[in-house]
Amino acid sequence: MMVLAAASIVALAQAAPPTAAPPPAAPPTAPARPTQVSAEEALARMPWFARLGARSLEVEVRLAVRDQVVLVPDAASFVAEIAKWTPSERWPVLVEDASFAPRFIRAFKPSTVLRRSVADSGFADAAPVRAAVDGALARAWGGTPEAGPIAALRTAGVIPAGIVAASASDPAWIAALALAAGRGQPLVWLEQPLGASADDVVDAASFGAFDSAVRAAFETSGLSWTGLGDQLDAFTLCRRAGVRVSLASPPGGRNPGIPADAGPFALTDALCRHPDGSRYAFAAQVHGDAVRASSMAMCSLFLRRTEAWAFDGYGGRGAGAPFAQYGFERVVPALESAGFKVRAWQGEDGTVDAWRGLLPAGVSADVMFLNSSGNADFLELARSAVAPSTDIPVLRRPLALQMVHSFSLQVPDAGWSVGGRWLAHGAYAYVGSVHEPFLLAFVPPAVFVDRLSALTPFLVAGRQWQGDTIPQVWRITTLGDPLMTIPAPKTAAMFPGRIGAAPVDGEVDVRAQARAALERSKSAADESTVASALAAAMRDLVACGDDAVAAQLWQLARSRGAGPAAAVAPAALGPLFRTGARASFMEAWTLVPKPSFEERDMLWQMWATDLRTLRDRGAIAVLKAAVREPRLDQDAQALLPALRATEGDAAAVEWMNGLMQRTQDPEVKRRLAQLQA
């Protein structure tokens, strides 16, 4: 075990959570002599959950972080950039897009944003992918591709806390490389089929074959692994896999908390168990394309979390068991005392109106604890009022989420679902349910926060542990990095600061590019050159998270003519939403031919608190034309009262008929017909 920074981290994690009372101390018979305990001995004395978090955080603070973010265009460039990490320093690397990368940068706030790329190295086949990834992992820890990553980790003195698995045919291997390099873990390639998407249900035979392959990876690791508190306690699955698994006989036998005929279990909860149901490791999953997978990994590795929100939608359900233990009475003061900035909606405050009040500005929390009832497509909040899945908010910053809610992650690849929208908007660590779990499957928020205070990793804290209720398999899944901790802001303030960005030949400073493009626009003689320059400047400003300047640039583009405004508008919607410039957003919206999924949510959420009383015919026309697929009934229900009030019943009927003709989904047709009636 490495010792750099270990002593301070051990001191921070000494206390077990308040839920585990210490044994009474015997009265002293003589003054105790002070004893010196090594960092390794102190770690060994910790409870397993605190030791796991301390080991993970120890690797994290061992590596200096450069105050820069590097944007790359593709997987080959990502691998080349990770290979530049060393055993002493690293920096965030993201596959560039217009949503996930800027969201990370707004939270990380680097002094420098760079672009780098390499020539495509031919990742069409599995063999070159594996060779390049294994080589980059070895280099990141000071080794060579010939000796391999395991030898590099040994030389660096790193004892891994977990294993990462990927498939060379699935783009989420990009997250596997990042998490293996960032946490000091071995990476194994597991190609067994586990469903075509995360929405699938894995059959028992496929699960059995994959579970055996995972066990074999632990058995052949050369590290201790059979019980919690051993060297290996985590497993990260970075690839496509159904989040649900059908098991007639799950490990440990049928969970008496779940009816025998009531459906599937969570894949990540069924993995890494012995036949008696006891765990040998905690599993979590990262899936998605290269953009989202790289973002989820970098958020886990590099972000510090300072703002926590707690929203209790169980108000009005009585003070008795079992709902009472899921309140936030203990959570809020505990978070505040740890230095978090806290916003809370408790008791009767967790209403649909309060929830929708969050939407026009977007959510700025780093961590959220949310209680609600409902299904995969709606939330039932206080006073039994319902919010559709379209009311899952746009996120200003990446989010770690515990959602006590049935079915939220039943179909996480479906953008219309609750969980699918959270993930599409930037949730990177998520404790949620794949089926009706029953309330006691969820860890109460107060216990969750107690565990976090002992440096238990976030996703591990969200699991039922052996000895808590029942050790058998549940329906709670964990998405993200199972080794990510959330140290209190007061604790994180003691960690080493960032070091300066390192100049490298051939790199591109994105902010410098934006300034150069603005200068070109000033001297350009024709409108098309002005438009091209301003559009480039806007894209670069958005990439750097400079929303205030980007919103001002929109005004400049409008003043330079119709061509520049039309060129700048597609990149302007995000900054205009986040700066609350609704009138400007609506102007830009009319110039964007193909708004993205997230931008459509921005449009509707800017009007979320006004839809009941909306009488602006122009805004209504824009919303009518922007109804979101595939659940047309959700937006129709929200807009229908305003449409009837401004255009009359006949116009409303005509519009609804048009929506029914647009969909082939019989359930959506039925709901639209109900609304029309």
Are 521 and 585 found together in one domain?
A: yes
DSSP string, 260-292: TTS--EEHHHHSSB-TTS-BSSEEEEE-S-HHH
Are 528 and 594 found together in one domain?
A: yes
- Look up the domain containing 532 and give its range: 507-608
What are the percentages of helix, strand and coil residues in the chain, rounded to 5? Answer: 45, 15, 45
pLDDT of residue 249: 84
Are 521 and 596 found together in one domain?
A: yes
Domain annotation covers residue 573 = yes
DSSP string, 344-376: EE-GGG--HHHHHTTTTT-B--SEEEEE-EEET
Are 548 and 582 found together in one domain?
A: yes
User: Last residue of some domain: 608, 636, 659?
Assistant: 608
Interatomic CA distance for residues 52 and 47, integer angstroms: 9
Amino acid at position 338, single letter = A
Are 550 and 594 found together in one domain?
A: yes
Are 601 and 512 found together in one domain?
A: yes
Are 563 and 593 found together in one domain?
A: yes
Interatomic CA distance for residues 594 and 591, integer angstroms: 9
Question: Which CATH number is 579's domain given?
Answer: 1.25.40
Are 582 and 641 found together in one domain?
A: no
Are 518 and 558 found together in one domain?
A: yes
pLDDT of residue 4: 36
Are 601 and 516 found together in one domain?
A: yes
Domain annotation covers residue 666 = yes
User: Last residue of some domain: 585, 608, 631?
Assistant: 608
**Other CB atoms within 10 Å distance of the CB of residue 118:** 15
User: Last residue of some domain: 608, 627, 650?
Assistant: 608
Domain annotation covers residue 132 = no
Are 552 and 622 found together in one domain?
A: no
pLDDT of residue 320: 60
Mean pLDDT by 10 residues, the chain (677 residues): 42 43 42 59 85 94 94 95 96 98 98 90 83 96 94 94 97 98 97 95 96 98 95 97 92 76 85 92 97 98 97 76 86 96 93 96 97 95 92 98 97 97 98 92 94 96 74 91 96 90 78 96 91 97 97 96 96 98 97 96 97 94 95 95 95 94 94 90
Phi-psi region of 190 (alpha: psi -120 to 50; beta: other; left: phi over 0): beta
**In this structure, what are the phi and psi dihedrals at residue 125, rounded to the nearest 5 degrees?**
-110, 165
Domain annotation covers residue 621 = yes
Query: 11: helix, coil or strand?
Result: helix
**Other CB atoms within 10 Å distance of the CB of residue 124:** 8
Domain annotation covers residue 101 = no
Are 574 and 518 found together in one domain?
A: yes
Phi-psi region of 455 (alpha: psi -120 to 50; beta: other; left: phi over 0): left
Interatomic CA distance for residues 513 and 503, integer angstroms: 16
pLDDT of residue 348: 87
Domain annotation covers residue 134 = no
Domain annotation covers residue 616 = yes
Number of domains in the chain: 2
